[in-house]
Structure 1
Amino acid sequence: MTESIYLALDFPSWELTESFLIRNDLQGIPVKIGMELYYREGPSIIEKLRKNNHTIFLDLKLHDIPTTVMRAMKILSSLEVDMVNVHALGGSEMIHYAKEGLISGNSTNHPKLIAVTVVTSMDNRQLNKELLIPGDLTNMTIHLAGLAKENGADGVVCSVHEAKQIKEDCGDLFLTVTPGIRLHQTNTDDQKRIATPIYARENGADYLVIGRSVTNAKNPRLAYDQAVKEWGK
């Protein structure tokens, strides 16, 4: 059950991260490491977490020319994390090269490649008016999921609201990783397309990413256990 819930460790340093995990008895749970912590600590943060039996989703959202992404993924593959990601908007060739990089870096046990569709802080107005991408956000997300699958990705990051349709179009084995998870009676913060663990379970999510509902809670361990209970898988 807990293997499917990644806690976003959005802290500025290893010292604060370690203190939080120990203080709240959260050692060994799956965790997501984003740009802030990885750029501050480098690969050593992965080594420290792996020593404490954490499964790791390395959330760097690579988006560059295909060759650069391939070379970066070859390096990241050697860290032996569970999942890494790229932006699906980087296109088919970039996604394909990312998968090649992971395999060449670790042919026997490379991380799962997950493609970010449309980040959960974005809504339809921003997609149309700011990025000048016409059409419906949901349709865009589903299109990017299909593109990712065709080019070797193991799944996508999407909002819970698109997960069921992606499963129908891409198959049950294609993974849906869903951020924007909030427990009942918590703030939405800067994310717009959010959902509870119960809603996620009912709508085709394979993995949840939960952050501030736990890390900002008065009792983070209790909040994490509540997420596990609501998830119920």
Structure 2
Amino acid sequence: MREKIIVALDVDTQQEALALTTALRDHVGAFKVGLQLYNNTGPGIVKTIADAGGKVFLDLKFHDIPNTAARAAEAVVGLGAFMFNVHASGGKKMMADTAAAAKKRAEKLGIPAPLLIGVTVLTSMSEEELQDELGVTRSLPEHVGALARQCQQAGLDGVVASAREIPWIRKACGEDFVIVTPGIRPAWAAGDDQSRIVTPKDALKQGADYLVVGRPLTKAEDPAEAAKRLLAEIE
């Protein structure tokens, strides 16, 4: 079960990231390097964490014209992350070109291609914000399902989405499509700035493949004990 847990290393320094990697690597499956850590430390942090025994999900959410996103994907493949992502709202061509470029680069390097997943709707957003601020007329689950289907058609391996939308994604894309769920909060943790949160047990029951957990573990007084508590809650 621990292989399904990805810890969000939303910290500023390599020292903090490595301390968390060391404390948690025996209790979780991977670590997420996002914009905060990546921009503070640079791309070398991916290899540094890998060398310390942690698989890396590189969460940079590429969203640009197809050529730019594809060239960025080529650069990411060489870093050694096992998974990275793009914004699904960048469109089918952007996603397809990015997926093709990543696979071609991996073949050239003689390494497995990383999983490529599309971010559907950020878990910090509510349905009201999606409709009122972005002008989306579909319901949130319908919108997420439609974006997931576009990701699949473009050749992506899966999506990032709230566990609340998993039934819609499974209906649109089937059982083999990878679903990564952020906004995970154990029953004993605060919701913080997330809107569409679920417990880890509920997310797995819905069919999530990976759970991204951040502050309940990284801000805990004893991260390893918090991870054990999280796993106990799931089991």
TM over 0.5: same fold?
A: yes
Distance 2:18 2:115 in 1: 25
Aligned to 2:223: 220
Within-5 A mapping of 1:62-141 = 62-107=62-107, 108-141=111-144
Cα offset, 1:171, TM superposition: 1.1
Q: Does 1:177 align with 2:175?
A: no
Distance 1:149 1:79 in 2: 24
The CA RMSD measured in Å over matched residues stands at 1.3
Matched-pair contact (CA < 8 Å) for 1:159–1:178: yes
Give per-residue Cα distances to partners, 1:70-129, cap 9 Å, x unaligned. Answer: 000011011121100000000000000110121122124111000000000001111111
Q: Which runs of 4+ in 1 moved over 4 A?
A: none
One-letter amino acid of the structure 1 residue matched with residue 46 of structure 2: I
Matched-pair contact (CA < 8 Å) for 2:65–2:94: yes
Distance 1:220 1:53 in 2: 17
Distance 2:145 2:178 in 1: 13
Give per-residue Cα distances to partners, 1:112-154, cap 9 Å, x unaligned. Answer: 0000000000011111111112121111000000000000010
Aligned to 2:7: 7
Range with greater deviation from structure 2 (42-51 or 149-158): 42-51
Distance 1:20 1:170 in 2: 35
Matched-pair contact (CA < 8 Å) for 1:164–1:205: no
Aligned to 2:194: 191
Q: TM-score, with normalisation over the residues of structure 1?
A: 0.95
Matched-pair contact (CA < 8 Å) for 1:72–1:101: no
One-letter amino acid of the structure 2 residue matched with residue 27 of structure 1: R
SS in 1 for 2:116: strand
Pick the aligned partner of 2:155 from 132, 146, 152.
152
Matched-pair contact (CA < 8 Å) for 1:80–1:110: no
Task: Give 5+ residue unaligned stretches, structure 2.
Answer: none
Distance 1:201 1:20 in 2: 24
Matched-pair contact (CA < 8 Å) for 2:34–2:60: yes
Q: TM-score, with normalisation over the residues of structure 2?
A: 0.94
Task: Give 5+ residue unaligned stretches, structure 1.
Answer: none
